[in-house]
Amino acid sequence: MSRYTFKTTVLCLMMSWQFSAFAQLDTTEQAMVTFIDDSNGAAEELLIESVNINSGTMNFAGVRAVADHMMPHFEALGFETRWEDGSAFGRAGHLIAQMRGGGAGPKLLLIGHLDTVFEPGSPFQSFARIDAERASGPGITDMKGGNLIMLQALRALDQVDLLQDMDITVVLTGDEELSGDPLALSKKAIIDAATYADIAIGFEDGDGNPTTANISRRGSSGWTLQVKGTPAHSSQVFREDIGPGAIYETARILLLFLENLQQEENLTFNPGRILGGSEITHDTESSSGTAFGKNNVVAESALVTGDLRAVSLEQLERARSTMREIVAANFPHTSAEIEFDDGYPPLAPTEGNADLLRVYSQASVDLGFGSVVAVNPRLAGAADVSFTSGLVDMAIDGLGLSGSGGHTVDETALMTALPSQSKRAALLMYRLYRQ
């Protein structure tokens, strides 16, 4: 199917549904819903098993163990699976699963991740039931629950004999929480799959609210500012041939960042670490450093590191350009340089993404769960789906397991959302394929 034809059919699909907000599910959809309800207990058990496998990003054996735990379930559905070793980018690797059916539907890319932020030394290691609706566990929402929602949706499509006709690539990365280096290799599996696909669907937990989904995500990149001043006795500071020193120059730059960039909607620029004095050292690996200086000496050196989050590539470049101009306009007898690293790209809020959300929201309405709206990108961090930006016609994320407390020992899942999110995802993929 050409991308032009696919866009046209999705628009027709939305127009036909907007006049029947509470349309009855067809018999195929009803069968998928029944299957998800009947198999939810087994899905919960599978989720518990996955949560109880430690897969902190740097626990390579644990990340591979989660892949080994998931792989047979994809193979049972007819997917061809493989493990992509991550030694070239300093991580465990990725699980890739492919279904190349002969149907005429769109080519789908489904994205999840195997790793968590909880390494083997963390006190948070296992699943625990809190009450009838809630449970806690490392990675239960971020994002082992999302992986199970993806699997349940695929199982439902298989139950109605449609899956074998579909064209689906699944990428479960092993380094979403702490990306490997270089990113060009770390994210190659997603980029290659997105280049092939028409639509990307991410199963992250988003903002933890089942009434929202992500059609945009801000990127996350870093910056390093290095400043030099002229050292002298403090009694000579501001002298015409001495100038204000490195720390005053740094203060000027940071203040102008704030004054010139804070009006940009959805843009944030945070200085996270600063060092200044007569002598400084900086260790990027440990995110630490030292500073030596005396109160009666004009500072010779300063360094600031921070992050920059933008909602589009255009906004990112505009912010960087402004920052470069500010850095270049130095106080007398000072100099400064700023360097940027690329990090995660932004996923811009395109019309195609908004169209895909409408299809997803309508499926939710027809299931009786209410509409789904776009989450404010300020409320969600960067994610792997961002690497599909510009490569697919449509992308959506945040279809995973609802909950709260992600990245903390209070990570809690709303277990009742496991079947409801699975149903929404199954209907989304079915309705996209049907057209």
47-78 b/e (C-beta count within 10 Å ≥ 16 → b): bbebbebbbbbebbebbbbbbebbbebbeebe
**Residue 285 confidence (pLDDT) above 50:** yes
Domains along the chain with CATH numbers: 3-217+347-434 (3.40.630.10), 221-344 (3.30.70.360)
| pLDDT of amino acid 389 | 93
In the chain, the amino acid numbered 31 is A
Q: What is the average per-residue pLDDT within 304-322?
A: 96
Q: Which long-range contacts (CB under 8 A, 24 or more apart) does 69-72 make?
A: 70/95, 70/114, 70/147, 70/151, 70/172, 71/95, 71/97
Strand pairing of 80-85 and 268-277?
unpaired
| pLDDT of amino acid 21 | 40
CA distance 74 to 152: 10
Q: What is the average per-residue pLDDT within 288-299?
A: 97
pLDDT band at 22 (very low <50, low <70, confident <90, very high): very low
Q: Chain centroid to CA 326: how far?
A: 30
| pLDDT of amino acid 2 | 47
CA distance 155 to 79: 11
Percent of the chain past pLDDT 90, that is, above it, reads: 89
Note the pTM of the prediction, 2 decimals.
0.86
**Residue 337 confidence (pLDDT) above 60:** yes
Strand partners, 297: 233
**Residue 12 confidence (pLDDT) above 90:** no
pLDDT (tens digit per residue) in 240-254: 999 999 999 999 999
| pLDDT of amino acid 11 | 53
In this structure, is the dihedral angle defined by the CA atoms of residues 375, 172, 407 and 132, taken in order, positive or negative?
Answer: positive
CA distance 225 to 82: 42
Q: What is the average per-residue pLDDT within 91-98?
A: 98
**Of all helices (H) and strands (E), which one includes residue 200?**
strand 199-202
**Residue 14 confidence (pLDDT) above 80:** no
Helices 27-51 and 417-434 pack at an angle, to 10 degrees, of 130
pLDDT (tens digit per residue) in 95-104: 999 999 987 8
pLDDT (tens digit per residue) in 57-77: 999 999 999 999 999 999 999
Lowest mean pLDDT among 17-31, 130-144, 149-163: 17-31
Say what the alpha-carbon torsion angle 170, 172, 177, 182 is, to the nearest 10 degrees. Answer: -80
Tokens read off for 400: 């995973």
pLDDT (tens digit per residue) in 26-51: 999 999 999 999 999 999 999 999 99
DSSP state of 143: I
Strand pairing of 373-374 and 212-213?
parallel
